[in-house]
Structures are given as structure tokens and as C-alpha cells.
Amino acid sequence: MSDIIHLLPDSVANQIAAGEVIQRPASVLKELVENSIDAGATFIQIVIKDAGRTLIQVVDNGKGMSETDARMAFERHATSKIKSADDLFALRTMGFRGEALASIAAVAQVELRTRRTDDELGVLIDVAGTRVFKQESVQCDTGTSFQIKNLFFNVPARRRFLKSDNVEKSHILTEFYRIALVNSNVSFSFLDGDDEIFNLPASNNKVRIESIFGKNAKKKWQQQLLNIETSTNLVSIYGYVGKPEYAQKSANQYFFVNGRYMRHPYFHKAVLLAYNQMIQASESPNYFIYFEVDPQTIDINIHPTKTEIKFENEQAIWSILSAAIKEALGKFNIVPSIDFDQEGAVDMPTRMPVENVRPPQTNFNPNYNPFGNSGYKRPTLDWEDLYGGFEKKAEPASSSIDWESNIDSPVSPTFSSIEKQQEIEHTESARTENFQYKNRFILTGIKSGLLMIDQQRAHTRILFDLFMTQMEKSHGLTQQVLFPETLELSADDDLFFEQILPDLQRVGFDLEPLGNQSYSVNGIPAQLGTSSVINLLLDMLEKAKTTAQDPTASIHESISLTLAEASSLKAGQRLSNEEMSDLIDRLFACANYNFTPDGKKIVSTFTLEELEKRF
Ligand code: ADP
Ligand code: MG
């Protein structure tokens, strides 16, 4: 039998190789623009027609090519950017594989015009399907112009794989953003047919970000970016992260290293964790983060179209990144917090946190309802109260409400003397000028302006922190129930329930196993204010199960949040001045008082400056 292996002709080999590098018009755009950047261009003009199917043109004012180089550029593995394997570890250019132009020329009709500054004449080369059709001297500007026409003209199968114009255009824009955002010192003009879709003068990163994404919402973008900057001998990190309240479902998230876009799931996690509890799980923050590292410490030589990059010092950089973001968020989070605008003001942080107190056994009078007819009478408010409250003497301590016990709950624990003491201290500081709006928001003055607080969310945050502490450090109070209900579980659920049972006991549930995957609910957390305990337990179980599937999510947080939401004071509930002060007091004793655990905003600040501007 004769031998059967033979080498493929160049045209076929190139076409196969092109499949790797050039998948769609967006890949062509990426390769050409990256070449222009590598050639030192300061101005790059892009023109596409029919979503790049019929034309992709990239014109630059970079260093241009000699006639020989222009011809060589279309050969496979022809590059001016590296000479040996060693150079791979000191890369400063976007390209280095020498494959792109060969690949493009294998699957499209290419016209190249290029001239170096010192050359009198430039060169024109026409190539299509790897064959050179024309090569001649021409008059042309310094720099390089590539026209790529009729992409995949000779590969119908690939052409058929292309998606609708809109989809292809969005791929093109994705690639464009990845380059334009990290080359803000380069001017770009971008024409889609006759429409100019971008005209970006050379500027800085911030202006570039705003002019790309803030086109229709410029104001918003200027307000939302928080600066991050840190420099160590391992890495310099700078850029911008979005304020939590601008988080969105499909956020703009960009990492760059040494001028190159990268994906980095591990660092991405660091960013998300820094926002922990500030944003909803379904949303994600915007970020534009630029890393500079010694090129020897990264490996970008993984795959021509992959954007993952390996870092030698990944863990250390993770921590540096995380700290930088937390610092930026922390700075911004410092709402004019503790400078309340009254004398002898609420100095809550010095108050002994309730969670450090191990509560003694409590006694209950199950028939006592502090809000029932015979019990405590809620103080009502009117304008006199609201504005006179500041001058007035505080109400006696006994009439103040403990927020950790829900006002609707049928029974209320008697407090230990320590807690009483705290209540008194608190009430004395409650000579605050608060105003409840729509029975939903609390308005309170601070030195530098006005705070508006969502009462339900504030209470959710307070209770969440309390339940978390109880689960992890102390122990919650139990209120025994008069008529225990029975919780019945499937075998599956029961297995999981047993795992979270100790946590539930710590927050105050008294659950007695009855066998057969059933439990008698003999007692519930003192703070709990729900009529349907069984439903709550099932809900909590369900959410905790989902949480358990995510290794980074915390079951304690899931349980605490479900409980806090079920127990929190609701909108529509009228509050006395003292109740409001107490709520504010406890809210600002929380480490993260600006957001609910699931990232909803609790406090909004109107600065004095903003208020004055209105008049
Ligand atoms: P690579 O970028 O990996 O080197 P390419 O196939 O993209 O490979 O380009 C081959 C070579 O052609 C480059 O190394 C460079 O020398 C030259 N070249 C390509 N585009 C330009 C350009 N716009 N300006 C100047 N030289 C260019
Ligand atoms: Mg290249």
C-alpha cells in the first residue's frame, strides 16, 4: 500500500487555522484594532458595513510597514513582536502569534495600504483567500489602512453560522469596548455605514468610560464611579467601581491587565464579595479595574481567542484588590452618619451592644399584650408632638418600645435589668426631632442635612444583625407558645433540617422532635412576629437549601434574613417619636446601616447643600 499522508496546501491550512482565530466580524475588528494599537497609533478610524459582513475597515496613524513587511505580514507565524520563546514572558504588545492577518486573508478579500513616515511612497496589497492579487506602490497617508471585504466569501458554512446583524454588531461593540476602555489616550472614530456611532477624543479612563456608557445617561455615570487606587510591589490596581445602588442585572464589568482586557472569575468573586450585602443577589456592580503587573508574572499564552490570564500571585492580588474595593466602598458609605444635630445627641456606638449580653432566663406572662386594650397605649403623634418633641422631656422609660420584640407579637418577654438600663439610657437620648412620613419613612435632621430612613428596611437590618449574632455568638430569647403546632417534613427535607436545627435553636426556636420527620414547635424567637410559624419554617428551609448549593453563600445569613423579613416592622405602622429614635439608634449601631442584607437602600441623605440649592 502506498503512503497516504500529505501536507495540506497553504490555502487550506490557513483556512482551518483561521477557524480558530476568526469566528465572526468582531474577531476581525479585534485583531485589526489591536494591531493598530501595537503600531503606536494615536488615532484609529473604524468603518463597518452590514454588521461587518461586507466591510470592516480600520485606518490608523501608526508606524506603518515597509513593502517587504507588508507582504510578510500575511504569512502565518509572521510577527515583528516576538523573536524567541523568552519574549513571551515579557510581552508588552497585544499581538504576538503572527496568525491574525494570515487567518483573515484566508477567509476574506483584503486590501492593505500602508506607509512609514520616512517612505515617500506607500504600498498597496490585495489578497483574497491567501492569494496575492496585487502589489504596487501608491501615494497614501502615513500609517495603515486595512479593508476587509466579504468575510467568509469562500467559506459558505461559516457565513451561514453568522447571526443577525444586531447580534453581530453587539459582538463588534463588545470587542471595541474592551480595547477603547483601556486605550483612552487613543482617539477613536467609529462609523456604522454612514452613522457615526462613536467619536471618542483622547482623554482619560474616566471620561472614556462615561462617554461610552453614559451616552444616554451621562449624569448618572458621573455620579456612580468610585475611584480605586492602590500600589504595591506586586501589582498596581486602579480604576473605578460603581456605587452599590447602581448595580444592575447586566452590569458593565471590565478587568484589564497591562493594557489588555481579561476575564478573571476569581478576581470577579473578590469584587462581588466586597459588595457583600450591599446589593441584591440578582444584581451585580459595574466595575472597570486596571491591573499593572510585571509581565513575567502573568501567562497570557493560553489560547488565541481566550481572554483568561493566569497570575503568579493570584491570592495576594486577590487580597489587595478586595481591600482596595472595600476601602472605596467604605469611604462612600460614610454617610454623614453620627453627627446628629441635637444636643446630648444619640451616642449609640458607645451603648453596650445587646448581643454581648447573655440574656438570663425570662419569665412570660402569656396573657400580657403590651398593645392590647388593657395594656400599653401607643402614644399618638401630631405636629405638636413632632416639633415640640425636641424641647419636651423624654417619656418615661416604661413607655418606650423594645424594637427587638415585634409590636404585633402576642406575647412579649420581660427584660432583664441590663436591657432595661439600656432602654432608659436610650430613652434619655431620644429627644430627637423625627418625622414620620406616610407611616413609612422616618425623616431626621443631622448636622449636614436630612436623613430619610425606610422604617421597614431599617428594622430588617437591625433584626438580621441580631439573628446573626445570636447564631454565631450568643443565644436568642424564646417565647413559649400556648398551642404548639407540628412541623412535618419529607425525609429529604428532614435531613437538611437537622443540619440547621442548632442554628434555629440559637435564635430562639424550641423545636421538639416527635419522630417521623415531625417537630413540635413549642417556642419561637422572642422577636418573631408572624402568625404562621410553620410556613415561615418551611420558607426558611427552602431558602437555606438553595443557599447551601452556593459554596460562597452563608446559610446563617439566609436564615437570618428570612426571619428578619418575617419579623420586621412593616410600612404603614405609625411610630412615636421615641420609637423612631430607638429605631434610628439601633440602625446606626449596625455595621452596615446603609443597606439591607439583600442590598436594598435603607438611608437616603439630602445634604444641606442640596437642600439649599432648591431655594
Ligand atoms: P501579530 O499581531 O501577532 O504580530 P498579525 O498577523 O496580527 O500578527 O500581524 C503581523 C504583523 O504585521 C505584525 O507583527 C506587525 O508587524 C504587522 N502589522 C499588522 N498590522 C499593522 C498595523 N496596523 N501597523 C503596522 N504594522 C502592522
Ligand atoms: Mg495582531
Taking each helix axis from N to C end, the angle separating 491-506 and 455-472, rounded to the nearest 10 degrees, works out to 90
Is the shortest distance between the CB of 98 and ligand 1 below 6 Å? yes
Q: Whose CA is nearest to atom 8 of ligand 1?
A: 98
Q: Are 565 and 460 in contact (CB under 8 A)?
A: yes
Q: How far is the CA of 94 from the centre of ligand 2 (A)?
A: 7
CA 227 to CA 288: how far, in whole Å? 10
What is the per-residue pLDDT across 283-322, written as a single tens digit (0 to 9) for each?
A: 899 999 999 999 999 988 666 677 888 899 888 999 999 9
CA 205 to chain centre: 19
Q: Is 21 helix (H, G, I), strand (E, B) or coil?
A: helix
Q: Whose CA is nearest to atom 7 of ligand 1?
A: 100
Q: What percent of the chain has pLDDT over 90?
A: 41
DSSP string over 246-299: G-BTT--EEEEETTEEEB-HHHHHHHHHHTTTTS-TT-B--EEEEEE--GGGEE
pLDDT band of 14, cuts 50, 70, 90 = confident
Q: Are 406 and 528 in contact (CB under 8 A)?
A: yes
Nearest to 404 by CA among 590, 582, 558: 582
Running DSSP on this structure, what letter comes out for residue 364? -
Residues constituting the chain: 615
Is the shortest distance between the CB of 62 and ligand 1 below 6 Å? yes
Give the mean model confidence (pLDDT) for residues 517-530: 86
Whether the pLDDT of residue 182 is over 60: the answer is: yes
Q: Which residues pair with 143 in a beta bridge?
A: 115
Nearest ligand, CA 17: 1
Q: Are 96 and 83 in contact (CB under 8 A)?
A: no
Nearest ligand, CA 30: 2
Nearest ligand, CA 98: 1
Whether the pLDDT of residue 519 is over 60: the answer is: yes
What is the per-residue pLDDT across 164-181, written as a single tens digit (0 to 9) for each?
A: 999 999 999 999 999 999
Atom in ligand 1 nearest the alpha carbon of residue 100? 6
Specify the higher pLDDT residue, 482 or 235.
Answer: 235
What's the mean per-residue pLDDT of the chain? 81
Per-residue pLDDT at 424: 35
Is the shortest distance between the CB of 65 and ligand 1 below 6 Å? yes
Q: How far is the CA of 279 from the centre of ligand 2 (A)?
A: 40
| R_g over Cα of the chain | 33
Q: Is 436 helix (H, G, I), strand (E, B) or coil?
A: strand
What is the per-residue pLDDT across 244-273, written as a single tens digit (0 to 9) for each?
A: 888 888 889 999 999 999 999 899 999 998
Q: Is 228 helix (H, G, I), strand (E, B) or coil?
A: strand
Nearest to 436 by CA among 455, 415, 408: 455
pLDDT band of 415, cuts 50, 70, 90 = very low
Whether the pLDDT of residue 473 is over 90: the answer is: no
Ligand 1 pocket, mutate which of 58, 67, 101 (most atoms under 8 A from CB): 101
List, edge to edge, every strand of the sheet that includes 253-257: 225-231, 236-242, 287-292, 253-257, 260-262
Nearest to 119 by CA among 187, 74, 70, 73: 70
Give the global pTM.
0.60
Q: Are 525 and 479 in contact (CB under 8 A)?
A: yes
What is the per-residue pLDDT across 49-81, written as a single tens digit (0 to 9) for each?
A: 999 999 999 999 999 999 999 999 999 888 998
Per-residue pLDDT at 280: 82
* Range ranked top by mean pLDDT from 81-95, 323-337, 382-396: 81-95
Atom in ligand 1 nearest the alpha carbon of residue 94? 2
What is the per-residue pLDDT across 346-357, written as a single tens digit (0 to 9) for each?
A: 333 333 333 333
CA 413 to CA 362: how far, in whole Å? 7
Whether the pLDDT of residue 197 is over 60: the answer is: yes
Per-residue pLDDT at 271: 93
Is the shortest distance between the CB of 100 and ligand 1 below 6 Å? yes
Is the shortest distance between the CB of 517 and ligand 1 below 6 Å? no
Q: Is 44 helix (H, G, I), strand (E, B) or coil?
A: strand
> Among the listed ranges 11-20, 186-195, 217-226, 389-398, which one has the minimum average pLDDT value?
389-398
Specify the higher pLDDT residue, 446 or 491.
Answer: 491
pLDDT band of 333, cuts 50, 70, 90 = low
Per-residue pLDDT at 409: 33
Nearest to 326 by CA among 109, 541, 591, 527: 591
CA 310 to CA 262: how far, in whole Å? 10
Which residue, chain included where needed, has cell 436564615?
559
Phi and psi for 490 in degrees, rounded to 5?
A: -75, 165
Give the mean model confidence (pLDDT) for residues 526-535: 80
Is the shortest distance between the CB of 570 and ligand 1 below 6 Å? no
Cell numbers standing for residue 8: 495540506
Per-residue pLDDT at 123: 98
Is the shortest distance between the CB of 18 and ligand 1 below 6 Å? no
Q: How far is the CA of 79 from the centre of ligand 1 (A)?
A: 6
